[in-house]
Structure 1
Amino acid sequence: MIALDVCMNLIEPHRFTPVEAGTTATVTLPSLPRKTHVDVRRITAGLVLACSHFSKDMRQDDIVRRPAGDLLLTFNLSGRMQLVGHNGTAHEIGGGQAWIIRTGGKPLQRIVEKGEGCSNIVIALAMSRLDPALSDQFEKALPATRPLRRLRLPVPGRAELDMLLDERCGPAALLRKEGQCLALVGHALEELSACPGSSVVADHRTLLVSRITALLSERMADTITMPELERVAGMSHVTLNHVFRAETGMTVFERLRMLRIETAEQMIRHTDRSFTDIAATCGFADASHLSNAFRKRFGVTASEWRRRGNKNG
């Protein structure tokens, strides 16, 4: 546990960030409750993950200054805080919101009111790690006059957070965490690209459908619920299905069923894996369920389809 010395309420996170990958520093502030602390973990060179907890027992007012070359992606998990830029513009950061920040080496005032409290995670990425085109896009989208932007990117779910914040720090675990962090930054930059001139990044239908489709593809073997998709999309299932139907001609779960049967068809045609194995991989209850879906879609059994494929090959 590190007690951070604060000079005139100025906090410079890079001064207490661990140098070694996988190492975590827990930082507390003098005169504040121990409930107020920040866990800072170095994931790899140029990538830091911080999880902050601010007690509701008293008001906190700090000046935070980070290196000029950092990109910050912030997810507010609960409570709220206020961030005031160097130009005096105040931003209310509420629970369930995502924000992207260009530090520019300028100070930010952070205010957490008594009785409110706050919990958030911050991904700090050195912009030197970005492709020059992405770095240029980021700087244009977040000029010095407007260094903070709210995103529609949803806060990671409980399972995602548990994986991101677990105590594992071996090479494989750090690689996984790096991938998770970079994926979130990638989603944020996609949103900036979709609406480069907006002060609040608006919904982009093509981007949303692409993101949900990617999730469906990645989680094909799992049980996916509509409440989970509502959280990821940041909208009700009615609105989500409306957007999906307008873009693809089908609902979310109709698209999932199509993805499953299309993937199964490819595996049946091009592999010798058993139908039971294919069914499990593609999210069907069992081989019989796969067979019924296959006959309904293609008019023949899976076995016959495989025989035809072998003959054609």
Structure 2
Amino acid sequence: MNSAKIIDRTFSIAPMLDWTDRHYRYFARIMSKQALLYTEMVTTGAILHGKGDYLAYNEEEHPLALQLGGSNSVELAKCAKIASDRGYDEINLNVGCPSDRVQNGRFGACLMAEPELVAECVDAMKQVVDIPVTVKTRIGIDDFDSYEFLTQFIDIVQAKGCTDFTIHARKAWLNGLSPKENREIPPLDYERVYLLKKDYPHLHLSLNGGINSIEQMKSHLEHVDGVMVGREAYNNPFILSQVDSQLCGIDASVMTRAEVIEQMMPYIERHLKQGGRLNHITRHIIGLFQGLPGSRNWRRYLSENAHKQGAGIEVIKTAFSKVEL
């Protein structure tokens, strides 16, 4: 088993399907050494029966958590053990994703209605690994959105030894809203997560949802233990360069965007040598110059050229030359 390491949970990047793959995570790690990185959600079925290697990652990504989707405790335990043996630093159970596909598989946000099953799954995983087993959830689902419903869920799951929860401060509508709408339409209720921390001071609680600036992160950290950021960390990734110094108390000089690109180059060259395509990586770095003059030129040049057959690092160099720094 992989022995547990102490993980700084002050700041983490949310698991995002199709976004937080290993290329994005490598890119994020260049800008923040402290951020806890999460994989995209991987289902137990994909790990146990899939053809590909869904657990591949770069050693530089640590600390790294695997987010699992599933509700069969035996299968989750098997996957947790495999991931621990592969060197992952944490296993996270998805109790927050609201998509129809997830509900049909009986995992994600619908599991909030089955706290005993979630507790059983957490317990099964904890029995076979030494690394932390954590849960990411919502504040409620459908009409089950009272504070009592949330605390009952927390009570039952923590009784099986889960001490770390990430709470997306929106409830999920399981019927009628798309996953995208579920990230935007149900109102945010940060106060409920703050209250949860007051009532459960012994638990490590991270807050997720609608956070898009370092100032907001600092404000939330006055009330909770950690913040998890999703879309802002992806669409405006250079915000990560401030995380270590501004949030984690690390005396780190902020990198320039040019230095970030320079550090990505060897990784990109390796990827290309192994037969990978340039746009597998450039799609993740396209937001690096967000808000700066010339960012549109950077985005446009990468979008128009990185997908072409044989595209190499000269595409990135040319795109960078079009940015006005």
Larger RCO (CA under 8 A, 6+ residues apart): 2
- Give TM class, smaller chain: under 0.3
- Larger strand proportion, structure 1 or 2? 1
* TM-score with structure 2 setting the length: 0.27
* TM-score with structure 1 setting the length: 0.27
